[in-house]
Amino acid sequence: MQEKNSKLQAPLSVLNGVGPALAEKLGKLDLYRVEDLLFLLPLRYEDRTTVTPLGALRPGIRSMVSGEVLLAETVYRGRRSLLVRIGDGTGQVTLRYFYFSRQQQAQFQPGTRVSAYGDVRPGPIGLEIVHPEYRILREEQAAVTEDSLTPVYPATEGVQQGRIRNLVGQALAIMLKAPPVELLPDETREKYRMPSLTEALTYLHQPPKDADLKQMSFGKHPCQQRLAFEELLAHYLSLRNLRLLARSESAIALTGGQDPVDSFINELPFRLTAAQRRVVDEISADLATPHPMMRLIQGDVGSGKTVVAAIAALRAISCGVQAAMMAPTELLAEQHWQSFRDWFADRDIKLAWLSGSQRQKQRRESLALIDSGDAGLIVGTHALFQEGVTFDSLALVIIDEQHRFGVHQRMALRDKGITQARHPHQLVMTATPIPRTLAMAAYADLDTSIIDELPPGRKPVQTVALPETRRDEVVGRVRRACAEGQQAYWVCPLIEESDVLDYQAAEAAHAMLTEAIPELTVGLVHGRMKAATKDKIMRSFKDGDISVLVATTVIEVGVDVPNASLMIIENAERMGLSQLHQLRGRVGRGAVQSHCVLLYRQPLGEHAKSRLSVLRETNDGFVVAQRDLELRGPGELLGTRQTGLPQYRVADLIRDAELMPKVQLAAESVRRESPQLADAIIRRWTGDSGRYGKV
């Protein structure tokens, strides 16, 4: 389906005033076509519909003013500036400019009438407006006010607001003469009482004087919600396209390997939970199909995702093909390597290790094992998808803590396994539970399994928040726990002392604990250590040779020490909820009641107080994730800065979460009734990036 109005698809050069230089600058705002200007929505609005008498000005309020120039002078009080004093009979205000030319200064002759707009603030000699937009008025000319609220657009260097407003105005004029195609089905718009696209765009670029600015600032105006709905729909449809594409691709059907899998499960030193068995069955069913599996496993910390991944890998290896597991950090990858090595010790399975810090000789040996197919299971970091790595028969890709990888990185590893039009199965895992509405928007290309049950015997970790002034009490608590044969973590955000960030540094904490509890062995681990050194310390802690492990947040994932029952977290007020929940999940893995102490620096702000209270009240990762989403946003929870997930122009995944179920229903209807319409919606909102999940 093509847009009826070809003028909206025309390059910006068709607009008055747009030459090659301006077109290049507009490109930095992703503006290339006339239609792009219509979807460049204002960041906020200014009220220039009325002139405020100078005597009625109030600090902190952006105002439109008008008056006669009383005095204009250049002063050098620390910084050269032009001061223009204007009055209107009710009061006076100073217009202050730090950047000005002689010609500009010459405009402000005493008696000249001026209108200006800007932020009013207190100054040395009364109220002033710094660098206001202004206009020199002719004699007897009234101040020029606007008929509608004035939009403020995203800016880029070299393009003034006035220029953008002018161009948007030209685009609106073109749109009104030949409106764009209405892509949302009539029944959808009627069902949810949505305005047309033309009505929504016109309103948002030129809101009337009586527009509800508060409602618009929260993004809840019907016109904003209508555009957000269509944008969410575009991205959802794009992700579903990926899912449908995967179903049309070929993969090796891994139908064998049931006997080795059954014996492996029976020989485990623990029983799988019902949730783990359910997820294993879902994965097995996917692997048995001749199309690539694309499945996400969500499971809280300690729920047992790794053993589920091991079962999936064993099935693939038993079918004569390779499986690869990729983790975001060497420490986490090493933990998986050790787990798999222990689990598969009595089986005829060769493992290969690949990381960025490997010595050249070890790397060459690993690459040879991978290339020849001798290695059935390959474990490593992002080094797995780098140039020079060739797999013999990669049929299963497992990604742990997938939100720490870019979608492109995940796909790069998948592409390593594409041979003769066959694609590898994909299993991605996260210990960061994702609220349902967010998962709908972010992972519509994946089927989802949830391990919503902890292994039997696990007791919820009891959490308390204490001011750092009570650190001595906490040290005493650590001493008592270790005297009873338990172990403790002491986590700090930084490695060394910092003048910039007033955090308790790991090295300082290590020194303090070593001195305060001399009878205990205190270890230190952080991200700057060599892998071999970290591995040695972590093994010593796991073996019980170290009683207290001081660490940075490098231990957030991947360490399983059942004997550790106490987690101390310094500067907890500075960390996000999901990260704190991950750290807390390092304890509570044994039979003894475990505790987590959140040390914070006073005074504690309301925002931080609400975060810490969530952790005291619940151990449910989904509740924690929902609150984290509300407090910090999807970018932090999903890592969108790294993942390549869409940066929405209008929609907001938190604010507009309630739209997602409606979007999902509309998407299925559009796909079923009019696939061409679906493609047009995707094209309008994502352009060439509509397949951002595909490399």
Helix (H), strand (E) at residue 379: strand 377-380
pLDDT for position 693? 34
pLDDT means per 10 residues in the chain (695 residues)? 66 92 90 91 89 94 93 89 95 94 91 94 93 89 85 85 92 92 91 94 94 88 95 90 82 92 92 95 96 89 88 96 89 84 91 89 93 94 84 92 60 70 87 73 81 81 94 95 95 66 74 95 86 81 93 68 92 84 85 92 86 88 77 53 59 84 91 88 73 34
pLDDT for position 513? 95
* 55 and 116 both lie in a single domain: yes
* 129 and 161 both lie in a single domain: no
Assess if residue 103 is contained within a domain: yes
User: Six-digit token pair at 328?
Assistant: 């975001």
Range of the domain at 388: 258-451
Contacts of 295 (CB under 8 A, 6+ apart): 282, 283, 286, 426, 427, 428, 446, 447, 448, 449
466: three-class secondary structure by DSSP: strand
Closest CA to 445 of 235, 243, 233: 243
Amino acid occupying residue 93: V
Amino acid occupying residue 185: P
Assess if residue 219 is contained within a domain: no
pLDDT for position 640? 41
Residue with tokens 């929870």: 637
DSSP category for residue 652: -
In whole angstroms, give the CA distance from residue 233 to residue 648.
12
Assess if residue 236 is contained within a domain: no
How does strand 462-467 pair with strand 425-430? unpaired
Calculate the alpha carbon distances from 166 to 30, 171, 172, 175, 359 in Å: 17, 9, 10, 14, 60
Closest CA to 72 of 61, 63, 83, 81: 83
Assess if residue 681 is contained within a domain: no
* 129 and 165 both lie in a single domain: no
* 599 and 478 both lie in a single domain: yes
* 499 and 567 both lie in a single domain: yes
Contact status, residue 401 vs residue 582, Cβ threshold 8 Å: no
User: Six-digit token pair at 18?
Assistant: 């747009």
Closest CA to 314 of 278, 289, 346: 346
Q: What angle do CA 281, 285, 290 make, to 5 degrees?
A: 160
Helices marked H in 78-185 = 102-107, 161-177
User: Six-digit token pair at 382?
Assistant: 């992002």
In whole angstroms, give the CA distance from residue 167 to residue 40.
11
CA 185 to chain centre: 31
Contact status, residue 622 vs residue 435, Cβ threshold 8 Å: yes
Which strands sit side by side in the sheet containing 351-354, from one edge to the other? Answer: 351-354, 377-380, 322-326, 394-399, 425-430, 294-299, 447-451
* 513 and 412 both lie in a single domain: no
Helix (H), strand (E) at residue 46: strand 44-46
DSSP category for residue 172: H
Assess if residue 654 is contained within a domain: no
pLDDT for position 421? 64
Dihedral class, residue 51 (left if φ above 0, else alpha if ψ from -120 to 50, else beta): beta
Helix (H), strand (E) at residue 409: helix 407-416
CB atoms within 10 A of CB 384: 26
* 107 and 203 both lie in a single domain: no
In whole angstroms, give the CA distance from residue 367 to residue 362.
9
Closest CA to 550 of 494, 476, 471, 601: 494
User: Six-digit token pair at 270?
Assistant: 């623990």
User: Six-digit token pair at 485?
Assistant: 């044969």
* 56 and 35 both lie in a single domain: no
Contacts of 123 (CB under 8 A, 6+ apart): 94, 96
| Residues written for the chain | 695
Q: What angle do CA 462, 468, 469 make, to 5 degrees?
A: 120
Closest CA to 303 of 624, 627, 623, 620: 620
Amino acid occupying residue 628: D
325 CB burial (10 A radius; 0-12, 13-18, 19+): buried
Residue that finishes a domain, picked among 90, 123, 145: 145
Assess if residue 218 is contained within a domain: no
Tally of domains in the chain: 4
* 477 and 608 both lie in a single domain: yes
Residue that finishes a domain, picked among 96, 125, 145: 145
* 278 and 295 both lie in a single domain: yes
* 28 and 89 both lie in a single domain: no
Assess if residue 504 is contained within a domain: yes
Render the burial of 516-552: b for 16+ CB within 10 Å, e for the rest: ebeebbbbbbbeebebeebbebbeebbeeebbbbbbb
Domain CATH code at residue 435 = 3.40.50.300
* 569 and 507 both lie in a single domain: yes
In whole angstroms, give the CA distance from residue 165 to residue 172.
10
pLDDT for position 649? 82
Closest CA to 317 of 348, 354, 353: 348
Render the burial of 197-220: b for 16+ CB within 10 Å, e for the rest: beebbbbbbbbeeebeeeebeebe
Q: Which residues pair with 94 in a beta bridge?
A: 85, 128
In whole angstroms, give the CA distance from residue 109 to residue 116.
15
Residue that finishes a domain, picked among 145, 180, 202: 145
DSSP category for residue 255: -
